[in-house]
Structure 1
Amino acid sequence: MIGSQTIQSAKQVAIADYLAFRGFQPVSQHGQRLVYYSPFRQESTPSFWVNPAINRYKDFGSSETGDDVIRLVQRLNSVSFTQAVDELSRFAGLESKPGFSFSGPVHAPTAQATICSIKLLSNPHLIRYVESRKISYPTARRYCLEIYYQQGEKNLFALGFANQKGGYALRNGVGAKRNIGPAGYTLIDAPTAGSINVFEGVFDFLSALEYYGLQTPTFPTLVLNSTTNLESAFPLLESYQRVNAYLDNDTAGKATLERLSNNGLCVADRSRLYAEHKDFNAFWLERAAFHLPG
């Protein structure tokens, strides 16, 4: 038996947020209504409308009348009403539940970590964290998620950046970096071929977007998440004519740059842009603080 309060909380999940989580973005907007290609079928003309003001959708390609987010999840996942409410409750996140901490460092694992919930970025603590790195909320929300996880007896949460293997690079600003799930690099696709950008970490990548005033990268972009992932990335990098290397100005970054060059790749060292700083984010922090133009 599901409580009425749980049902009402599930209904408050924004349809647009849930669709974005599932990979569906609006193609246009008419007044207050967002227009999508239907998430239920392939179509050449978008026929799925969402009204965020009342959090209802209308699928003009079916005989179904307009409905709420619970019905949407039922149809998308082919599940019961109860299962849909449970899915939305997990999606809504666990920050309102007691015991989830943002105050401790994200240590290297001493116990197996288990993901409890993944949701779109909305937690005030994490938003303040990304903004402290001079990354705007819309930019961070496009690429990062909130990860709520349990390690031993501790309930923790952090910013998560998904990699190609289904794991996440975790960051919370108050401790060491770590991964949950399999470690690996992240590839962000882009329409312009020929060159590929390479960054060490997510905040360097996001800082470059802010610096160049972009929502998405111009070239395909590889974020290593750790220089230890470079070896597995070589087969991908070899398929491009040039590698634009936005690496750190430290020993590890210089060693990575040398390995790229020694592997026969045509490498453009973009770290000269921020030669007086450790990395792109440190460079962007200074420029943003003084409102300097790019």
Structure 2
Amino acid sequence: MDLGKKSYSIEQVKEMDLVGYLSKLGFSPAKIRNVDYWYLSPLRDERTPSFKVNTRLNRWYDHGLGKGGNFIDFGILYHNCTVGEFLQKIDAYFSFHKPVLQHTKQVIAEPKITILQDCIISSFALIKYLEQRKIPVAIAWQYCREVRYGLNDKIYYGIGFKNDAGGYEIRNQYFKTSSSPKGITTFNNGAKNVSVFEGFTDFLSFLVMHQNQSKKDTDFLILNSVSFFEKARTFLEAHEVIKLYLDRDATGQNYSRYALSLSEKYKDESNLYKGHKDLNEWLVNIGNNSKKQLKQKL
């Protein structure tokens, strides 16, 4: 990285050292375990450290929030600003300070998930999980697989959603993880429009809501992590209209605002599920509310 530059690209900022930046903000790790630095969360009040930075990946995860990501994802949450505003803050900050670069020391690699088998979803627990999320198994069968995977000499299973790079997003009732390589998932139907989702449960929820409509009316892109938004822009901006169904939390809304500032092609559709975290939560609650209203009438 050229330290003489007065402005930094999104890709450059993403790879700046999180541990170094946290130190400059006044946060020190409460404990260090190999490549993992644990902090009292800078994003909320807590007494037990649950905010982790993995120095090998230079990525963070806040277990209390259930959110994580790269340097920019942290910055927009910490400063409660848009991506563009955070880049301006970084430019201003580093006009007085040297950039904190990512650690280059060698570290011990973390255990990796190994996919052992994928098959049609048939486990009772996974079908029940889909039912709880209001997603018919017939729809899930079209896009997901039941995957068995190994981790630390143990075998686990979950609903697997494959990305374009060959890795899986994996979910069950108690846990969510992913296998390498990480990446986006696209469905190209040759449409002029594209619908964008953070995760595959929101994508499946959209399909549930539009069961009687042709799936070829729109292309689909599932980010699998908002940190892939920049890489997804080439595919997205080849379309005439880009409909955003991102989460209604700080990170999702900041990315939506950032996208709207890029082009008039982008449309924020999240008002559909206003009052809910995401599209799937809205779908689940709509179903519950309908049952409550039915009971009241009876």
Match of 1:174 in 2: 174
Matches within 5 A, 1:242-281: 242-264=241-263, 266-281=265-280
The answer on whether the counterparts of 1:238 and 1:265 sit within 8 Å (CA) in structure 2 is no
Check the 8 A contact 1:209/1:216 in 2, yes or no: no
Structure 2 counterpart SS, 1:245: strand
Kindly state the Cα deviation for residue 290 of structure 1 after the two structures are TM-superposed: 3.6
Q: Distance in 2 between matches of 1:280 and 1:120?
A: 25
Looking at structure 2, the residues matched to 250 and 214 of structure 1 have their Cα atoms a distance apart, in angstroms, of 30
> Displacement, 1:266?
1.3
CA pair 265-178 structure 1, distance change in 2 beyond 3 A: farther
Contact conserved, 1:139 with 1:215, CA < 8 A, in 2?
A: no
Letter aligned with residue 187 of structure 1: T
1:236 and 1:265 map into 2 onto residues whose CA distance is 16
Aligned pair partner of 1:205 in 188, 203, 216 = 203
User: What CA distance in whole angstroms lies between the structure 2 residues aligned with 1:214 and 1:164?
Assistant: 27
Distance 1:173 1:243 in 2: 31
What is the TM-score of this pair, normalised by structure 2?
0.58
- Kindly state the Cα deviation for residue 229 of structure 1 after the two structures are TM-superposed: 1.2
Q: CA deviation at 1:212?
A: 2.2
Q: Deviations over 1:239-291 (max 9, x none)?
A: 01111111111111111112222333511111111111111001100112244
Q: Cα deviation per residue 1:112-146 (whole Å; 9 max; x = unaligned)?
A: 22111111111111111111101001011111101
1:216 CA displacement: 6.1
Structure 2: how far apart are the matches of 1:111 and 1:250? 31
Q: Distance in 2 between matches of 1:125 and 1:270?
A: 32
Alpha carbons 1:237, 1:243 under 8 Å: kept: yes
**CA displacement, residues 33-68 of structure 1 (integer Å, 9 cap, x when unaligned):** xxxxxxxxxxxxxxxxxxxxxxxxxxxxxxxxxxxx
Change (3 A) 1:174 1:165: same
Which residues of 2 match residues 37-116 of structure 1 at below 5 A?
110-116=110-116
Q: Deviations over 1:19-41 (max 9, x none)?
A: xxxxxxxxxxxxxxxxxxxxxxx
Aligned residues: 184
1:128 aligns with 128
Q: Is the 8 A contact 1:185 1:224 kept in 2?
A: yes
Q: Which amino acid aligns with 2:168?
A: Y
Give 5+ residue unaligned stretches, structure 1: 1-107
Larger CA deviation: 141-150 vs 281-290: 281-290
Residues 1-31 of structure 1, C-alpha deviations (whole Å, 9 max, x = no match): xxxxxxxxxxxxxxxxxxxxxxxxxxxxxxx
Provide the C-alpha distance between the structure 1 equivalents of 2:286 and 2:170, rounded to a whole number of angstroms.
26
Structure 1 pair 152–265 and aligned structure 2 pair: CA distance change class (3 A): farther
Instruction: Kindly provide the CA deviation profile for residues 170-204 of structure 1, in whole angstroms up to 9, marking residues without a partner as x.
Output: 111212x321020011112325x211100111111
- The amino acid of 2:204's aligned partner reads L
Change (3 A) 1:172 1:215: farther
The structural deviation recorded for 1:210 is: 1.1
What percentage of residue pairs aligned between the two structures are identical? 33
Equivalent position amino acid for 1:201 in 2? G
The equivalent position to 1:196 in structure 2, one of 168, 183, 194, is 194
Q: Which runs of 5+ in 2 are unaligned?
A: 1-67, 69-108, 292-298
Q: Are positions 1:154 and 2:154 aligned together?
A: yes
Number of the residue aligned with 1:119: 119
Q: What is the TM-score with the length of structure 1 in the denominator?
A: 0.59
Moved over 6 A (4+): none
Cα deviation for residue 110 of structure 1 reads 4.0
Please give the alpha-carbon distance, in whole angstroms, between the structure 2 residues aligned to 1:262 and 1:166.
32
Return the alpha-carbon distance in structure 2 between the equivalents of residues 158 and 205 of structure 1. 18
Distance in structure 2 (CA, Å) of the matches to 1:216 and 1:128: 27
Q: Does residue 281 of structure 2 align to residue 282 of structure 1?
A: yes
Q: Does the alignment pair 1:236 with 2:235?
A: yes
Which residue matches 1:223?
A: 222
Counterpart amino acid of 1:239? Answer: A
Tell me: CA distance 1:214–1:183, structure 2 relative to 1, closer, same or farther (3 Å). Answer: farther
CA RMSD of aligned residues (A): 2.1
Which residue does 1:78 correspond to in 2?
none
